Amino acid sequence: MYNNIIRRDFFKILSGVVASWTVKDKLDTPPEDYQHVIIFKEEQFYSCFPNLYQLEDGRLYTEFSTREVVSHIDPRGGTRRMISDDGGQSWIESDREFYNPKYRSADGTLSEANAFGWRYVSPGKREEIERQGIEVRNSPNGQVAYAIGCYARTSADNGKTWDQREVDHPPKGLIMTFLDACTYVRLNDQVILRSVYGRPVAKENFYESWLLRSTDNGRNWSFHTVAADADRILSFGETTIVQLAEDQVLAVMRLQPNEKWKERGEARTLYTCRSMDGGKTWSQPRNSGIEGYPASVIVLKDGKLLCTYGYRDEPMGIRAVVSEDRGETWNLDQVRIIRDDGWGRGSDLGYPISVQRKDGKIFTIYYFTGKDRVTHIAGTKWEL
């Protein structure tokens, strides 16, 4: 991660500018016209990590970070919220916060659980926190940051007030969160899942994928392991989860390289796990063959799975692939290249989330850096 302020060109591209061009798939799939839209782009902000929700009325809603420095840890900046009434073609700022539609149960209660993510304290607290086996990192804002703990909260008044409490979990060195839109699954009116991940031991270059699970509509939560390699070779990070059937859930995980894995010389691919009992237990991780990270997965109207993911090798960009057998295999000979014009550091683009609109077309949101080096929020309307 860079912690220095990004150098910007001396011009500003306003949000809402739409550009369309043809992207020819370089993997021998049929060429298509993909409509790319700039959702938010301002040179003074490092805009990143957009969520995307399709609301009940069909509108699209996004919220994302607008950071003052190029850093994935520095908290300075803010959050922008934007909404689209036309399927993603144009966007305006929203003065209202919308919640993930999956938070809501039949009785109207909103239920959420997640990791706290980065918490910031003065440098004088470092030694006290590290003595507890918790990883501490320097933040560019002069504080130190640590990420431990999980919370749950419920609201009976549509988000005006919340009842929040901490969730018990085993001792860990680091617990992180991932994008809300692709890590939260409501299996039914009582069973809810939230994927988190982290390091079991502070500062050890090894990650595991975990899960928070509730069976009473968010009042109580238990902590489960999705994937943990006993040999500490395969290291699993940001995990998207998707419901396939009543109790069947697929997890798609980012591979976090460590020294042992690098010795094998393998491609950096996504791994999958499957639960047949509503998230209580999980199968052994399998290599999906999909080269890239991180990913999000949705179930299309025809029952196929669509996986969209960042691609951080040349040519950098956004890609997508389909599974016709619930994630057992993926059509790797028909990878769709949504964008291939990324520029700069590989960590400055990706984290795509897709929705299938009512007209069947796909809208994919992501953050992106082009040749002008302005990291911004963009989206693409496309179809299979």
Give the residue, 175 or 28, on which the prediction is more confident.
175
Residue 98: C-alpha distances to residues 59, 102, 376 (Å): 11, 11, 21
Please list, in sequence order, all residues whose beta carbon lies within 8 angstroms of the beta carbon of residue 164, skipping any fewer than 6 positions away.
151, 152, 153
Per-residue pLDDT tens for 207-238? 999 999 999 999 999 999 999 999 999 999 99
- Helices and strands, number each (H, E), in the chain: 2, 28
Q: How confident is the model at residue 141 (pLDDT cuts 50, 70, 90)?
A: very high
Q: How confident is the model at residue 32 (pLDDT cuts 50, 70, 90)?
A: low
Of 116, 56, 124, 63, the residue nearest 93 (C-alpha): 63
Report the DSSP beta bridge partners of residue 111: 154
Looking at residue 265, its pLDDT comes to 75
Residue 127: C-alpha distances to residues 117, 134, 144, 175, 311 (Å): 20, 10, 11, 19, 38
pLDDT score of 23 more than 70: no
- Asked if 359 and 345 count as a contact pair (C-beta separation under 8 A), the reply is no
Looking at residue 88, its pLDDT comes to 97
Looking at residue 75, its pLDDT comes to 86
Looking at residue 114, its pLDDT comes to 98
- Rounded to an integer, the average pLDDT of 116-131 is 97
Looking at residue 33, its pLDDT comes to 80
Question: What percent of the chain shows pLDDT beyond 70?
Answer: 92
Report the chain's terminal Cα–Cα distance, integer Å: 34
Question: What percent of the chain shows pLDDT beyond 90?
Answer: 86
- Domain ranges, ordered by start, for the chain: 18-382
Report the CATH number of the 18-382 domain: 2.120.10.10
- Cα separation, 244 vs 250, whole angstroms: 7
pLDDT score of 160 more than 60: yes
Per-residue pLDDT tens for 316-339? 999 999 999 999 999 999 999 999
Average confidence score pLDDT of the chain: 91
What is the dihedral angle through the alpha carbons of 256, 260, 263, 265, rounded to the nearest 10 degrees?
A: -30
Looking at residue 215, its pLDDT comes to 98
Looking at residue 18, its pLDDT comes to 34
Per-residue pLDDT tens for 255-295? 988 888 888 777 899 999 999 999 999 999 999 999 999 99
**Identity at 107, one-letter amino acid code:** D
Give the residue, 53 or 74, on which the prediction is more confident.
53
Looking at residue 270, its pLDDT comes to 98
Residue 103, phi then psi, degrees to nearest 5: -65, -30
pLDDT score of 352 more than 70: yes
